Amino acid sequence: MSVAVQGRHLLFSRQPRAPWVWLMAVVTGLYLTVECGFNSRLLDVVGGMPDQAAVDGIEMYGRSLSGLAVALVFWPWVLKRAAASGRHPVATALLLGMLSLGIGSVVYVAELRLVDGVVDRSSAEQRYLATNLVALQNALVGHGVTLDELPLTPEQLNQPDGKTFLAVFPLLALSTHELDKTLHAQKPLILRAMAEQLHGGASVGYNQFLNAREQMIDRYNNGYVPASAAYQRSLDGIAGQQRSAWDKYISGLRRSGTDPDRLPPAYWPKARKQVQKLGVQVGGDWVPSDRAGFDRAVAQRVRGASEAGFHNGMAKRLEGGAAIPPGLDQRAFFSHPAVQQAWRKGLGYAHAGVTLPVELPPPAQAPQFFKRAIYDKVIAADVEELLRRYDAPSAAFADGGSQQELGRGQMRALAVPPIALGFSIVGALVHLIKLSLFLLQLASGRGFTYGLVKGLCVPLLAFGVLATFHDIATTDITAKPLYRYFEQRGALLGGDAPRWQGRAAMFFTRSVIHAEVPAYPVFEAARRYALGGYAFGYHPGARTAPASPPD
């Protein structure tokens, strides 16, 4: 028996097929398409070991979409009242725009504050663990390490369940008991895998080295050599400039009816000023008839101007180039510390003191030579630097500590993917349900009687749909012993007994991993075909040179 209030059913009743319902169906469908495309790209970002710029970019898109999602909740309220009052469509559009901008901005800032709050409230120990967990996550992405009780092949990690697991892995493992002791013995291997991934491997590193070598050779041939030749030509012209300057000086004196040998001492200061106006900076004790002193001043001027022009030009062509002297042959140029430093920095070899050679063995032997003489030393230096920072005492990761920035940054890297993924998949489910309800209203003329009831039911339905995936085993990852251990520890939230918040977090984490298996292909198809392959700012492989470990 149905419950009725004034002839209307409490949940569903007859609803008009009004134009605004058509509009909301179209807008919700468009939003859902973008949200699905974003969700698939978010997993691609997590599974591709992005740089910080890519993470920041995808986070910005996520906050913007969340703001739009919340704003769309209020659109029916505005549209129904606009239709009832006969408001002009332009006025309604302006109102919707301002409402969306205002609500979207609030939600955008709120999500930003949520992540900032997680980082600000984190302890030094949590930041230390986050730093090492993100390193382990990167090593898993780069296939440099495996988890003994959760072995995942590279193929599995490239699948939706593997990518989702990577997104939530640091958060899952954060509460693992004595995690640091478990990781300590493997830390050099983990950090080596991280360093290898940063550089792209020996093959990629070799190609980047060759490209940088060609660029440096071009700078030598087309930058340094012409500048050095111009400098030498300027020096070769000193004698001519000395004669020209002396002739101008003598001509000036003769127009005054005198010459250097007959000029009275009382006029010497005036003669010195006239010479200095010609650009010849003679000393205060210079005698007007002193041709040798005059020539030395001219030579000093020309040499100084030539050196300044040469060094300024080199500084523009090469970082630190102002320290390079003119006249070097190719071997001496490439051996110069300033050239080596700029070359290493461009390749991301900032922590290695290795000397980069311009001369290489035959092409068949060059790759192995590069790996042995350069690449392995670079990786070893990076691992040493990473160990110094990642193995620092946990107190160093507190605010004001030497590793504060590293700890805060890695804590953020730990928090952003699961938060963004959670908002994204819930937002997609909410708007899928909303779209279904709009289509139901258009098809049958029935819908929720009260907007408040709809506002409560729709998110509950979304969480209910997500919860059903908890027990639908679409992957074997969540059946592995290590994953179950992570779940047990995560439910404790660092305490001695399970907490409801921890249980809920672990419940929905499992649900999300299961749900992404069937959802990702659909979401990726929406991104590729409906959105024309829109990348949401992430372009894997776009980095032209590897990054050194952060300082």
Q: What residues contact residue 99 under an 8 Å CB cut-off, 6+ apart?
A: 71, 74, 75, 78
Structure tokens at 339: 């050239």
Share of the chain above pLDDT 70, in %: 93
CB 168 within 8 A of CB 512: yes
pLDDT confidence of 6, banded at 50, 70, 90? very low
Using the predicted structure, report yes or no on whether residue 546 has a pLDDT greater than 80: no
Measured from the Cβ of residue 424, the count of other Cβ atoms closer than 10 Å reads 25
- Please provide residue 185's backbone torsions phi and psi, each rounded to the nearest 5 degrees: -65, -30
Model confidence over 70-114: pLDDT tens digits?
999 999 999 999 988 988 999 999 999 999 999 999 999 999 999
Query: Hey, CA dihedral for 360, 362, 368, 369, is it positive or negative?
Result: negative
pTM comes to: 0.73
Using the predicted structure, report yes or no on whether residue 161 has a pLDDT greater than 60: yes
The pLDDT, as a whole number, for residue 134 is 85
Using the predicted structure, report yes or no on whether residue 3 has a pLDDT greater than 50: no
Picking from 124, 19, 122, 142, the residue whose alpha carbon sits closest to that of residue 80 is 19
The pLDDT, as a whole number, for residue 178 is 63
pLDDT confidence of 551, banded at 50, 70, 90? low
Using the predicted structure, report yes or no on whether residue 2 has a pLDDT greater than 70: no
Q: What residues contact residue 516 under an 8 Å CB cut-off, 6+ apart?
A: 43, 160, 161, 163, 164, 425
At residue 258, the 3 state secondary structure works out as coil
CB 523 within 8 A of CB 39: yes
Model confidence over 520-530: pLDDT tens digits?
999 999 999 99
Q: At what angle are helices 52-73 and 19-46 packed, to 10 degrees? A: 160
CA distances from 458 to 39, 62, 424, 471 (A): 20, 21, 16, 22
pLDDT confidence of 450, banded at 50, 70, 90? confident
Task: Please state, rounded to an integer, the average pLDDT across all residues of the chain.
Answer: 87
CB 228 within 8 A of CB 328: yes
Q: What residues contact residue 321 under an 8 Å CB cut-off, 6+ apart?
A: 311, 314, 315, 338, 342
Structure tokens at 141: 């992405």
The pLDDT, as a whole number, for residue 7 is 44
Using the predicted structure, report yes or no on whether residue 256 has a pLDDT greater than 90: no
DSSP notation for 454-487: HHHHHHHHHHHHHHHGGG----SGGGSHHHHHHH
315 against 185, higher pLDDT: 315
Using the predicted structure, report yes or no on whether residue 132 has a pLDDT greater than 90: no
Farthest-apart Cα atoms in the chain, separation: 130
Query: Given the DSSP bridges, would you call strands 4-5 and 12-14 parallel, antiparallel or unpaired?
Result: unpaired
Whole-angstrom distance, CA of residue 333 vs CA of residue 345: 17
**Alpha-helix residue ranges (DSSP H) falling in 142-260:** 154-157, 160-173, 179-184, 187-199, 202-219, 225-236, 238-255
Whole-angstrom distance, CA of residue 105 vs CA of residue 67: 7
Please classify residue 413 by burial: count the beta carbons closer than 10 Å to its beta carbon, then call 0-12 exposed, 13-18 middle and 19+ buried.
buried
Model confidence over 293-337: pLDDT tens digits?
999 999 999 999 999 999 999 988 888 888 899 999 999 999 999
CB 387 within 8 A of CB 187: yes
CB 21 within 8 A of CB 442: yes
Question: Across residues 456-465, what is the average pLDDT?
Answer: 92
CB 499 within 8 A of CB 492: yes
Structure tokens at 414: 């730990």
Whole-angstrom distance, CA of residue 249 vs CA of residue 244: 9
Per-residue exposure over 303-317, b if at least 16 CB sit within 10 Å of its own CB, e if not: eeebeeebbebbeee
CA distances from 337 to 86, 175, 212, 340 (A): 76, 47, 16, 5
Question: Across residues 363-368, what is the average pLDDT?
Answer: 93
Residue with tokens 């070359």: 343
Whole-angstrom distance, CA of residue 160 vs CA of residue 165: 8
What single-letter amino acid sits at 170?
P
Q: What residues contact residue 22 under an 8 Å CB cut-off, 6+ apart?
A: 442
The pLDDT, as a whole number, for residue 9 is 55
Using the predicted structure, report yes or no on whether residue 531 has a pLDDT greater than 60: yes
Using the predicted structure, report yes or no on whether residue 532 has a pLDDT greater than 70: yes
**Would you give the DSSP letter of residue 260?**
T
- Please provide residue 147's backbone torsions phi and psi, each rounded to the nearest 5 degrees: -95, 125
**Least-confidence region, from 397-411, 472-486, 496-510, 529-543:** 529-543
542 against 61, higher pLDDT: 61
Using the predicted structure, report yes or no on whether residue 547 has a pLDDT greater than 80: no
The pLDDT, as a whole number, for residue 206 is 94
Question: Across residues 182-198, what is the average pLDDT?
Answer: 81
Using the predicted structure, report yes or no on whether residue 485 has a pLDDT greater than 90: no
Q: What residues contact residue 32 under an 8 Å CB cut-off, 6+ apart?
A: 428, 431, 432, 435
The pLDDT, as a whole number, for residue 522 is 94
The pLDDT, as a whole number, for residue 224 is 92
The pLDDT, as a whole number, for residue 49 is 65
What single-letter amino acid sits at 453?
V
**Alpha-helix residue ranges (DSSP H) falling in 237-290:** 238-255, 268-277
DSSP notation for 420-439: HHHHHHHHHHHHHHHHHHHH
pLDDT confidence of 179, banded at 50, 70, 90? low
